[in-house]
Each structure stands twice: as C-alpha cells, then as structure tokens.
C-alpha cells in the first residue's frame, strides 16, 4: 500500500535559519503529493502540492519538488520566522494507480523557531 | 458553506456512552474523509466516502465505530460504548473528488472519562 515517511522531530531552530524536512513515499501508482501545516491550536491547512514529477509546489516561502527518481518531496524554507512554528505533515494520494484514494499522511514533524 | 464544519467542537462523555460526531463538507465536494489525531500523534485514517458510499473502511478501529453519509453531503461518525482510548481529536476533510487536495475542519475533541 501507499505510505509516507517523514523526518522525525522535534526540530528547533533560530529565526532566519534554513529549514528542511525530509519526506519520502511509497506508492504503487503515480501519486499527488502534499504538505499540510497545523499551527498551534488550529486545524490542518494545505501548504503546497505537486501533482507530477519535477513539479515544484510553493507557498509562504516554502518549496517542495516532486522527485520521482528518489520518491521524495522534501520541504524547504530559506529563512524561517517564529510564525512558522507548527507541525508539518507530508501526504500523498494515488489517483492513477492503486485506486487508493485516501490521503496517506506521515507522522508529522514539529518545528519550533526561536527568536 | 465556506469551509468544512464539524460539530460539536468539544465533547466530554462517560465511558460506555454512545457519541455522534457531525461533519458538513464544503458544498459540491463529493469526497469526505474521517481521521483521528491522538495527543502528540499523527493522523490515523478512519474512513472515506465518495458520494454516499464508503469504498474504504479499513481504518475503523473496531465494530464500535461506524459512519454514514446521506445526500452526498453531511456525514456522521458514531462511536458506540465509548472507551477511554477513543479520546482524541476527530478530523473531517472534504475534497472535490477522491484523491484531490483535501480541506479540513477544525475537528471535534472527544474526551471519554
């Protein structure tokens, strides 16, 4: 079945530091990939997505590139702010392969940015 | 509505009681998902609907859990004879079609005492 493995946290860094959260996936088909973010006390929000190989999703300074050859979708931000402190979830859905249409999530990575 | 709406936002119930959790998806979204998030844990898939049918019920933890969706819209997740391990935040999401990007509600925090 489909699965997502993401970097374990927690991750603590200083403002303006570079952030990378690794995400790799296993899928029988050709999945769409997502990053969701959960800010403290809030619900999950879609941060960015990519639907085919080499696509780059971007939003709020975050980027992730769909790498089919390495089955990865790493999240990056060049200069984090305190307001980026949140839990980040990598996810996939597989529309064109296994008929496994549910969103499969990674375990989540807690990121804390210190001023 | 503008977003996915879940009710109640908080529910405290006694062990052994039944509870019903409601989800109103975004209008026009045909797919609806239920997940569970325990404290400090990731998202556990429970069930999803395409229209009124549930192609994948594989995540329901036991036969105490059931869900239905009527009219291709509102969904209800029912937990019978609640146990303390059922305490969690229950999240509902909807998407235009199954497999597309999903939009989440704020969740229902269930506490079984």
Q: Which of residues 2-31 of A touch B (CB under 8 A)?
A: none
Residue B91 near chain A (CB below 8 Å): yes
Distance CA A8, CA A22 (A): 9
Helix (H, G, I), strand (E, B) or coil at B82: coil
Q: Does B96 touch chain A (CB under 8 A)?
A: no
What span, in angstroms and rounded, lies between the C-alpha atoms of B96 and B113? 37
Backbone angles phi, psi at B86, to 5 degrees: -80, -10
Q: Model confidence over A2-54: pLDDT tens digits?
A: 889 998 889 999 999 999 999 999 987 788 999 999 999 888 999 999 999 99
Cβ separation of B99 and A34 shorter than 8 Å?
Answer: no
Q: How far apart are CA A91 and CA B79, in angstroms?
A: 26
Q: Is A45 an interface residue toward B (CB < 8 Å)?
A: yes
* Angstrom distance (rounded) from CA A109 to CA B14: 33
Model pLDDT for residues B13-22, shown as the tens digit of each residue: 999 999 999 9
Q: In this complex, which of A94, A99, A108 lies closest to B42 when CB atoms are compared?
A: A108
What is the distance between the alpha carbons of residues A54 and A57, in angstroms, rounded to a whole number? Answer: 10
pLDDT tens digit string along B28-67?
999 999 999 987 678 899 999 988 988 878 899 999 999 9
Contact call for residues A76 and A20 (beta carbons, < 8 A): yes
């Amino acid at each position: 079945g489909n699965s997502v493995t993401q970097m374990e946290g927690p991750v603590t860094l200083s403002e303006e530091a570079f952030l990378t959260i690794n995400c790799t996936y296993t899928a029988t088909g050709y999945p769409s990939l997502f990053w969701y973010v959960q800010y403290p006390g809030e619900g999950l929000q879609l941060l960015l997505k990519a639907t085919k190989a080499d696509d780059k999703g971007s939003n709020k300074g975050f980027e992730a590139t769909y790498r089919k050859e390495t089955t990865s979708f790493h999240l990056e931000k060049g200069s984090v702010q305190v307001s980026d402190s949140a839990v980040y979830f990598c996810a996939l859905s597989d529309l064109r392969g296994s008929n496994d249409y549910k969103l499969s999530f990674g375990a989540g990575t807690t990121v804390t940015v210190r001023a | 509505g503008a977003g996915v709406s879940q009710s109640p936002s908080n529910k405290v119930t006694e062990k052994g009681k039944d509870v019903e959790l409601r989800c109103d998806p975004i209008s026009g979204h045909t797919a609806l998902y239920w997940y569970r998030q325990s404290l400090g844990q990731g998202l556990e898939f429970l069930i999803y609907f395409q229209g009124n049918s549930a192609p994948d019920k594989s995540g329901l933890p036991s036969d105490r859990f059931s869900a239905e969706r009527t009219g291709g819209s509102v969904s209800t997740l029912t937990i019978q004879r609640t146990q303390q391990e059922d305490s969690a935040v229950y999240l509902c999401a909807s998407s235009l079609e199954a497999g597309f990007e999903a939009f989440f509600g704020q969740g229902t925090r269930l506490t079984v005492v």
